[in-house]
Amino acid sequence: ASRKGILVKGSNYLDVLAKVGTVVFDKTGTLTHGQFEVTAVHLEKCDEQHLLHLAAHVEHFSTHPIGAALRDAFPDEATDGCKISDVEEIAGQGIKAKVEDWTVCVGNTKLMDSIGIEWHDCEHVGTIIHVAIDGEYAGHIVINDKIKDDSAEAIQALESLGVNRIVMLTGDRAAVGKDVAQKLGLTEYHVELMPADKVQHVERLLAEKQEGKYLAFVGDGINDAPVLARADIGIAMGGLGSDAAIEAADVVLMDDKPSKIALAIKIARRTLCIAKQNVWFAIGVKIAVLVLAAFGIATMWMAVFADVGVTVLAVLNAMRALHVRG
Ligand code: ADP
Ligand code: MG
């Protein structure tokens, strides 16, 4: 698995991977690239450069894909030496910070509601990032993300492996969530979730899963760490993922490709199958020789084969696990 860019943090997780029946995906950074581009800026109070300037500074320390997009939209951010202080990142909502003497809040409608700012809706399709400066609504920035090339393929591969329930959870707006789910052929998706809501959905899905089957959660952000830990098996994106997500996960996909999940399941099933073959083979031969010995027909060489011979054959058989196609 390591050779294919799949880091499995323990052999017990292979056991669980082989029996996955439900896969729950996060959207941003997991099914989509998480590389947003600013497509529009709608202003209420200040001018565009000022808004982008403040938004970029607030996101200075952010590891969220949205933060990177806002920094890219104002390239001078790193060099103009503005002072940033009192940064507070609220998972699933956005960021508050002080830039020079301005108090700036950048985030979604939930953040605006929580600080009591009246916001304006936007008719554009995309993720809307609202900005408030010194307690007044300043405008919003529309950003857009692209679905990963192999996301659709990943979902089909999981279905063909017998994973019977695939769900998408996202903290993003309903319009964006619906658009992505439709493009990927997902029928079950839930939108506008806070990290705690994601845990609740996963709890529900854990209660509803089939006997003997397990639930996998695939995510990338700090907001996903609680669910990654709660799921039977947590899978994180290693390239784009936040440290917290990678730490909380049991399996890490080094190249961020969701199609690797199906491959990981294939590797796990094959490994488990070989392990079972070896167990039955070893016990079978030993019992056979034991029975022969009880009737006095076993020879010393048969006993040696039942012990060392079987071990060598089992090791050779196990080496087949090194070759998995795909
Ligand atoms: P997802 O579940 O799709 O990965 P998140 O839970 O990370 O999304 O984020 C949910 C929403 O919270 C985003 O769509 C955005 O509106 C807002 N948000 C989160 N982090 C930030 C940030 N650093 N800057 C601005 N907005 C943010
Ligand atoms: Mg995410």
CB 58 within 8 A of CB 97: yes
**Pocket-testing residue among 87, 148, 223, ligand 1, by greatest number of atoms within 8 A of Cβ:** 223
- Joined together, the tokens standing for residue 37 give 């581009």
CA distance 148 to 159: 18
Distance 97 CA to ligand 1 centre (A): 16
| 149 noted as active-site residue | no
CA of 219, closest atom in ligand 1:
4
Closest CA to ligand 1's atom 7: 92
CA angle 200, 236, 27 (to 5 degrees): 60
Distance 10 CA to ligand 2 centre (A): 24
Is the pTM value of this prediction over 0.75? yes
CA distance 174 to 91: 18
CA distance 47 to 292: 91
Dihedral angle sign, alpha carbons of residues 152, 158, 162, 167: negative
Q: pLDDT value at position 324?
A: 76
Q: pLDDT value at position 326?
A: 62
Closest CA to ligand 1's atom 27: 94
List the 37-43 sheet strands across, edge first.
37-43, 136-144, 127-133, 102-107, 94-99, 84-90
Residue pointed to by tokens 């943090």: 9
CB 148 within 8 A of CB 258: yes
- Joined together, the tokens standing for residue 305 give 């084969």
Of the ligands numbered here, which is closest to the C-alpha atom of 64?
1
- Tens of pLDDT, residue by residue, the chain (326 residues): 999 999 999 989 999 999 999 999 999 889 999 888 898 999 987 889 999 999 999 999 898 889 999 999 998 877 888 899 999 999 889 999 999 999 999 999 999 999 999 998 888 888 999 999 999 999 999 999 889 999 999 999 999 999 999 999 999 889 899 999 999 999 999 999 998 999 999 999 999 999 999 999 999 988 889 999 999 999 999 988 889 999 999 999 999 999 999 999 999 999 999 999 999 999 999 999 999 999 999 999 999 999 999 999 999 999 998 887 76
Of the ligands numbered here, which is closest to the C-alpha atom of 176?
1
- Tell me which H or E stretch contains 251: strand 251-253
CA of 59, closest atom in ligand 1:
23
CA distance 112 to 133: 11
Burial of 301 (0-12, 13-18, 19+ CB in 10 A): exposed
Distance 104 CA to ligand 1 centre (A): 16
CB 146 within 8 A of CB 33: yes
C-alpha 201: how far from its chain's center?
15
Closest CA to ligand 1's atom 24: 94
Burial 62-72 (b: 16+ CB within 10 A, else e): bbbbbbbbbbe
- The pairing of strands 136-144 and 37-43 is antiparallel
Distance 92 CA to ligand 1 centre (A): 5
**Pocket-testing residue among 87, 93, 192, 200, ligand 1, by greatest number of atoms within 8 A of Cβ:** 93
CA distance 228 to 246: 9
CA distance 230 to 265: 19
Distance 220 CA to ligand 2 centre (A): 5
C-alpha 225: how far from its chain's center?
9
Q: pLDDT value at position 304?
A: 94
Q: Which residues form ligand 1's pocket by a CB distance below 6 Å?
A: 26-29, 59, 62, 64, 66-67, 92-95, 106-108, 127, 129, 170-172, 221, 223
Closest CA to ligand 1's atom 15: 108
C-alpha 10: how far from its chain's center?
18
Burial of 90 (0-12, 13-18, 19+ CB in 10 A): middle
Q: Which of 15, 26, 113, 232 is the catalytic position? A: 26
- DSSP for 299-321, written as a single string: -HHHHHIIIIIHHHHHHHHHGGG
CA of 127, closest atom in ligand 1:
14
Distance 171 CA to ligand 1 centre (A): 6
